[in-house]
Amino acid sequence: MARLPLVLTVLAAAPWAALAQDAAQKPASAPSMATTPLTPGQPARAPYLSDARAPDTVLLLGAPPRGQSAAEAADKAAFNATRSLKGSPRWALATTDVADGASAILDDFACVIGQRIDQSRAPALMTLLERARLDIAHATRAPKLHYRRLRPFVGNDAEICVMRTSELGNAFSFPSSHATQAWTYAAIMAALMPEKTTQFFVRARSYGESRVVCGLHWASDIEAGRTAGSAVFAALQGDAGFRADLEKARAELGKLVAAGGAAPDQAACAREEAAAREPIL
């Protein structure tokens, strides 16, 4: 992991009105992946993998850093250093990356795809992502509950890019569900558009790093999420239903891309490109 310069930040006292305004501008944390369907207003479909065929991520990931280990010290250093990014374009990208749900998932990869995909025109792709999302939730739930690692902002008043809530504070940190989802979806999208494999994974990397920038996860949570995402995708490839849905989504996406669509937000693409040039981890 690349070392970040340690920044000593002196927090000046701010008027209560300014603090309230700052809090009002922060987004809420994304909904739980385990309970919230990808498509709002519709019941979640069944996952692809049975419990017996899903990867054992507790065994796969092992325990997160703890005690006075070098890995634990590196996690704390990354958290402390990235607090200085508040107000920067990287902080803005990380805050945008908090969003979850159908349109947000596709928007995250819009700059790579080269256009925005209207979810209403991509039912096969949305089915693929929604069902895979349930497998991702299964993969992250077990180690979160087994290791019960606290998030880095718990027990301090350090700046984070979302509203602090008791629900968020009580949600465990290892591995990062967002990072696991990003890595799994990058693998799926790369299978659909193999000519853009590198770009999808670069975007997934910066998406996961956004969780560190936001102060919501330790760096090792992100690394564990990539490992878990790789295992989920490997298991999914052995499922006939997943492979059939993948082919349907491939045909659908090919037609949508050929037909053209709305251009992605160029300012967002610029932030993503800058983040790719200077990875946090």
- CA–CA separation, 281 vs 208, rounded Å? 10
Instruction: Give me the helix-helix angle, 197-213 and 219-236, nearest 10°.
Output: 140
- The mean pLDDT value for 61-67 works out to 94
Q: Which residues contact 205 (CB under 8 A, 6 or more apart)?
A: 226, 276, 279, 281
Give the single-character DSSP code of 5. Answer: P
pLDDT exceeds cutoff 90 at 23: no
pLDDT exceeds cutoff 90 at 262: yes
Specify the pTM: 0.86
pLDDT exceeds cutoff 70 at 267: yes
Superfamily in which the 75-277 domain is placed by CATH: Phosphatidic acid phosphatase type 2/haloperoxidase (1.20.144.10)
pLDDT value at residue 102: 59
Joined tokens for residue 136 = 């991702």
Q: Which of 22-31, 178-187, 229-238, 244-253 has the lowest mean pLDDT?
A: 22-31
29 vs 269 pLDDT, higher one? 269
Using pLDDT thresholds of 50, 70 and 90, give the confidence band for residue 103.
low
Q: Distances from the Cα of 27 to the Cαs of 42, 87, 98, 257, in angstroms?
A: 23, 15, 8, 31
Give the single-character DSSP code of 118. Answer: P
Joined tokens for residue 119 = 């979810």
Find out whether 6 and 80 touch, Cβ atoms under 8 Å. yes
- CA–CA separation, 90 vs 85, rounded Å? 7
- Amino acid letter, residue 101: G
- CA–CA separation, 128 vs 234, rounded Å? 15
- CA–CA separation, 163 vs 274, rounded Å? 26
- CA–CA separation, 84 vs 5, rounded Å? 10
- Amino acid letter, residue 199: Q
Q: Quick check: bond before 175 cis, omega within 30? A: yes
Percent helix, percent strand, percent coil in the chain, to nearest 5 = 60, 0, 40
pLDDT value at residue 201: 97
| Residue 160 backbone phi and psi in degrees, to 5 | -130, 165
pLDDT exceeds cutoff 80 at 186: yes
Q: Which of 61-70, 98-107, 109-118, 144-153 has the lowest mean pLDDT?
A: 98-107
Q: Which residues contact 146 (CB under 8 A, 6 or more apart)?
A: 58
The percent of residues above 70 in pLDDT, for the chain, comes to 84
Joined tokens for residue 252 = 């659908």
> For 5-19, what is each residue's pLDDT tens digit?
433 232 233 333 333
| Residue 102 backbone phi and psi in degrees, to 5 | -60, -55
Q: Determine the 3-state secondary structure of 232 from DSSP.
A: helix
